[in-house]
Structure 1
């Protein structure tokens, strides 16, 4: 296998990297599951400085982390895509999904 020339690889790498100043929320502690599992748990806020993720603060919960990072909380089953799916199921079987919950 031949190595890819650096001048071809480097621009693609830059496109995949976060933008300088981009923020993300990460669970604090030993949480090894999705952020939606414990939405009230505090989150660490990290910012990309161009080379690495740097801690810049702590958010009290998932909603506060979403405010800090500009990224909304994870989609819920009530989001539009699933509401459309629910309407399609209701049309086919005559029972609303919400009645079965």
Structure 2
């Protein structure tokens, strides 16, 4: 991955962090959790897929690439809580996936 793309991914991560940090809705829910007597710690991991535009690709066809922070192929681990959350967002996971 070239340095420019790495820099853009870093900027994307920073923008996502700022978006969550500045969200009144997120702050409100965190406040409700804390006022209920709980401490809270949030950790997010993003996996980003990318591919070159067709007109910029070399003669070799490239498929989408998935990367995570350590450069390894991502592994999907879904807990029952994750499934309930995704279902609340109307996101369905196929068993075959």
Q: Shorter-chain TM-score: which interval?
A: under 0.3
Q: Name the TM-score, length of structure 2 as normaliser.
A: 0.24
Using CA pairs under 8 Å that are at least 6 residues apart, name the structure with larger relative contact order, 1 or 2: 1
Q: Whose radius of gyration is greater, 1 or 2?
A: 1
Relative to its length, the structure with more strand (as a share) is 1
